[in-house]
Homo-oligomer: A and B are copies of this chain.
Amino acid sequence: MESSGTNSPSWELLLPAAAAPARSRGRQLQEALREAVRSGRLAAGTRLPASRELAADLGVSRGLVTEAYEQLTAEGYLRSGRGAGTWVGDSARAAVRGAARGTRDLAPHQVDALVSFRPGTPDLSLFPRTAWAAAHTAVLNTLEHHALGYPDPRGLPQLRIALAALLTRRRGVVADPERIVVCSGVAQAMTLLGFVLNAAGRHTVGVEDPGSPEHATLFSAAGLRTTLLPLDDEGLAIGPLAASGVRTVQTTPAHHFPSGIGYSAARRAELLEWARSVDGLIVEDDYDGDFRYDRAPVGALQGLDPERVAYTGSVSKSLAPGLRLGWLLAPGWLTDEIVARKRTLDLGHPVIDQATLAAFITGGGYDRRLRRCQRLYRERRDTLLAALAEHFPGTEVSGIAAGLHVIARLPERYGPESGFLRRAERSKVAVRPLSDYGSARPQDGCVRLVLGYAHLAPSEIVRGVRLLAQAN
C-alpha cells in the first residue's frame, strides 16, 4: 500500500516541528490535519494512510497519529469505515474571508490631525494609573470569593452605596442605592431606558436639537421614534415640547450639549411641571456635570423630583470612556423593568471594575481626581479663550464656564462654513462645526465651532488655534 502515490496529497504538510515535545507535536498534527481538510487540500473522500504508515512517513509515534485520527473523527473532519480505513469527511467548509479584511482594521488607532479639537474626550494621559492600580490590587486582596460569581444586575452593593453618597454630595441627587443601576456608561443607560419605555408603550422620545446625535441612534436601536425639540436660551423650549405630544424627553440641564448653556431655574421648574402634567419622564444626561469653573455646579434636576427624572452619568469624562462605567438612577416605577432589562443585556456589570471604582471613590481618589482635572481644564479653557482672542479677534464664546468644550462663533469674515472647514482640514486641525449637531442653520453666515479643549495641553491648544488662523 502506497501512502504517497502520484495522486495522493503530500503528507509532509502535516509534519510537526521535530523539536516540539510529544504533546505539542500531537496538537500540531491535529491542527495541520484540520486546516488541510478545511482548505480543501485534503478533499472529501480522500482516504488517509494507515496510521502506522503515516507515522513512519512523518517520523512520529503511531500513537500520535491514531490519536489525531480519533480526535478529528469525533469532531467530524474525518470518518472511519467499519473495520478499517479513515477518510476525509464532507462536513468541513472553509470560512469565506472578505478579501479586503486581513489585519487592516486591527492596526492601532490612527490620528491624522496635528491637533484635534473634536469634543467628547477628557485628557486620557491624566488617567490616574497608579491610584487605579492600587485600588484594583486592594480589591483583589479583600473581595470575598462569592462576589466573583454572577453579579447582581443592579450592580455591586458597595459601589451603589458609594455612588449614592457621591452623587448626593456632588450633584444634589436623591440617590437611594436601591434605585441605582450600574451600567456601561450613559449610552447603555439610554438603551436600557429605550427598551423599557418602548415595552411600556411609550414609543416616542423627544431629544434636544441641537444635541448629541448619539441619543437618537441609541433610542432608535431600542425601537423608539425620536422627535427633535428646539431650545431657546433658557433650555428646552416648553411650547414645542408640550405641542409635540411626547411624554419622554432627553435633556442636559446642567450644561447643554453642545450649546453650553445651563438651563435657567424657571425652565427647570417648567420642565418638571410639564412632566407632572403629562405623566411624563425627563431623562437627565449629566454627562459633564462635575466640571464647572466659575461657581459650584448646579445640582441635578433629579433632586427636585426623583419620580419624574431618570438621572444618568458616567466616569467617561471624569476618568476614561474606556472603563465603560456609568449609572442610572431611575424612578421607582421604572426600576424593576430596568434591572430586568440590564440582566438580559449582559447579566450585570463586571464585578472587579465595580469594586475598584467603589474603592477609588471611598478612598478619596475620585474627589482628588476631579479637583486636579478641574484645575487643569479651567487653565486649558482660559488658554483657548486667550488664543481665540489673539488669533481670531471678534470671536464670541458662548455658554457657561463648564465642561470640556466651548462654542465659538467666529466673525463673519471667516465664513462661509464650508470654506472654513476645507481650510481647517488642509491645515490638519480637526474641528467640528455646531451644524453637525442640529437641524437649524443660522442665517448670519458665521462659522460656529464646538471646540473640545480638555484633552489638549495648553501648548497644543495654542498651536491648533495658530494653525487654524494661518490657514484662514
Chain A residues proximal to chain B, CB less than 8 Å: 27, 30-31, 34, 38, 67, 71-77, 79, 89-98, 101-103, 105-109, 111, 120-121, 124-125, 127, 129-130, 132-133, 136-137, 140-141, 144-151, 157, 160-161, 168-169, 172, 174, 176-179, 183-185, 187-188, 191, 217-218, 221-222, 262, 265, 268-269, 272-273, 296, 298-301, 303-308, 316, 320-325, 331-332, 341, 344-353
Contact = CB atoms under 8 A, between A and B. Distances in A.
B303 A34 contact: yes
B96 A307 contact: yes
A174 B96 CA distance: 11
Instruction: Count copies of this chain in the complex.
Output: 2
Contacts of A96: 307, 332
Given A272-B91, A350-B350, A75 B172 contact: yes
Contacts of A102: 178
A268 B75 contact: yes
A371 B322 CA distance: 32
B344 A218 contact: yes
Contacts of A178: 98, 101-103, 105-106
A31 B350 contact: no
Contact of A304 (B71, B77, B306, B345): B77
Given A79-B265, A92-B304, A147-B322, 20 more contacts: A34-B299, A38-B174, A75-B268, A75-B298, A76-B272, A91-B273, A91-B305, A93-B272, A93-B306, A95-B307, A98-B178, A124-B149, A127-B148, A137-B137, A150-B316, A183-B346, A188-B345, A320-B351, A322-B351, A323-B351
B93 A322 contact: no
B93 A305 contact: yes
Contacts of A349: 324
B124 A148 contact: yes
B347 A346 contact: no
B345 A346 contact: yes
B303 A324 contact: no
Given A124-B148, A221-B341, A344-B221, A306 B95 contact: yes
